[in-house]
Amino acid sequence: MIQQGIAIGVVGAGTMGRGIAQLFAEAGHEVRLYDVQDGAAVRARDFVADLLRRAADKGRITPEQAQAVLERIQLQTTLDGLAGCDVVIEAVIEDLGVKRELFRTLEPIVGDQAILASNTSSLLVAEIAAACRRPQRVAGLHFFNPVPLMKVVEVIPAVRTAPETVATLRQLVQGTGHRAVVAADQPGFLVNHAGRGLYTEGLRVIEEQAATPAQVDILIREAAGFRMGPFELLDLTGLDVSGKVMESIYEQFQHEPRFRPSSLVRPRIAAGLYGRKSGEGWYRYQGQQRIEPERQPPPPLPDGLKVWISRDAEQHAGIATLAHKAGAQVVSEMSQADLLVLQPWGRDATSCCVAQGVDATRAVALDPLPGLDRHRTVMLSAVTTPGARDAALALFSSDGVPATLIGDSPGFVVQRILVTIVNIAANIAQRGIATVADLEDAVKLGLGYPQGPLTMGDAIGPMRVLTILRNMHACTGDPRYRPSPWLQRRATLGVSLLTPEAPRT
């Protein structure tokens, strides 16, 4: 059991190390901070002092509380100063050799009952623990930046980590007010693993020239309700960093197609287009201010426009009402119409036109996913005429709801990105990498998604998610879209994706 005020060692006083030190000092623990670089620990403590002073100035804490937190961060000049610590957390360079040597050196300094925890974000904890005499006392403890504000921490047991080590670390984290989630020692652990879908599928969309990066981001924000789209996030984290993570997870999962990185990334890294820190990435920046691409106003609605709506359109009545209010006429015969409207799930407009015998030159598809009242997605076929294109954009913008025009794409943009996120999450649950509850909370807290991924799948409808994936798989032949068994079983049984596995004992 964790007692208030235990001694916690932190090795590494960079961005992560100083954040970890602040978090545990604020929780009432004695923190001993060490860094091999002269002056680094002093600078870290000064940085925390400045944060605490500003918090006191704003009335969030008292000056006395700020001083008490600062006094609990004790600087050490050697590793020997960590003797007697109950837990030591390393936040040093992401290098296996460095971390293994550090733990090998620490073991004789700290007591036999001390826990050694690594803040690694990409290395297997088992490989770090292999250098230790007591691997049962070694685990991963992965924090996110900025540590005091990001309210989730991954506890990663290696193959030989003792259950009591995991329990102690969970309790330690939860005592800070953060959510501790347990993740298996697998590539990307939990948060980075679950976050692959947004990036890789967003990149896939622009690879296919179906939409621009700005259009993808707009749709993910405004139609799907995310705080940021994939390309905004890549610019924020830095493409040089994110690109390495994408490559690493793909390699470590033995080239699993669901995690396949994009060939667009390496040339951009070579060109120095990292994002905010380089002044240009998927967007251009002036200082830290992004230069937004200009949004063009929709064209005027053609006089006497006649619209045909596919009988199997999910929002047939809503589209008809919109057309009537705009002054267009809804007709029952395709031959009479200037504009033909389809609403496919997981298919592209062209294949739907062929399957339904629809004239593709006059056809567009409207994404039927919820979010129609926030932002619409209009998809062209491969041969939609400019006249039909402009008429569709005018019609679907006529009530003031913004609409984005995209090229032919199986699953539009939002459908394909959301179901990829759901499918990866279902596979995480299938493999037991995390519990459903930990998975849902980790994604909301660590990635900032509006819902947990399986809750997101339930909102779309498990059978609909399965249909979209199957249709995308059939349309593209790409195994990245093959549905997870976890998803298939729950969808075909008609139960929630949050339903856990049946107990075996």
Q: Catalytic one among 29, 142, 178, 193? A: 142
CB 220 within 8 A of CB 374: no
Residue listed under structure tokens 């619209």: 307
Q: Which residues pair with 377 in a beta bridge?
A: 404
- Tokens matching residue 255: 């080239």
Q: Catalytic one among 118, 119, 192, 484? A: 192
Interior CA angle at 415 toward 488 and 227, to 5°? 115
Known catalytic residue at 473: no
Known catalytic residue at 247: no
Report phi then psi at 177, rounded to 5: 90, 0
With a CB cutoff of 8 Å and minimum separation 6, the contacts of 63 are 56
Half-sphere exposure of residue 115: CA atoms within 13 angstroms, side-chain side: 29
CB 362 within 8 A of CB 305: no
> How many angstroms from the chain centroid is the CA of residue 344?
26
CB 63 within 8 A of CB 56: yes
Rg (CA), the chain: 26
**Burial (Cβ within 10 Å: 0-12, 13-18, ≥19) of residue 177:** exposed
Q: Catalytic one among 121, 351, 409, 423? A: 121
Known catalytic residue at 471: no
Report phi then psi at 292, rounded to 5: -80, 135
Comparing CA positions, the residue from 296, 340, 201, 300 lying closest to residue 258 is: 201
Comparing CA positions, the residue from 227, 318, 319, 231 lying closest to residue 268 is: 231
SS3 409: coil
> How many angstroms from the chain centroid is the CA of residue 77?
38
Residues 49 and 329: their CA atoms lie apart, in Å, by: 68
Residue listed under structure tokens 């209009």: 378
- Tokens matching residue 12: 């590494």
Interior CA angle at 247 toward 439 and 125, to 5°? 55
**Secondary structure tally for the chain: helices H, strands E:** 20, 16
Known catalytic residue at 29: no
Residues 437 and 498: their CA atoms lie apart, in Å, by: 8
Going along 381-442, which residue ranges are E strands? 403-406
SS3 285: strand
Q: Catalytic one among 90, 154, 201, 232? A: 154
The residues annotated as belonging to the active site are 121, 142, 154, 192
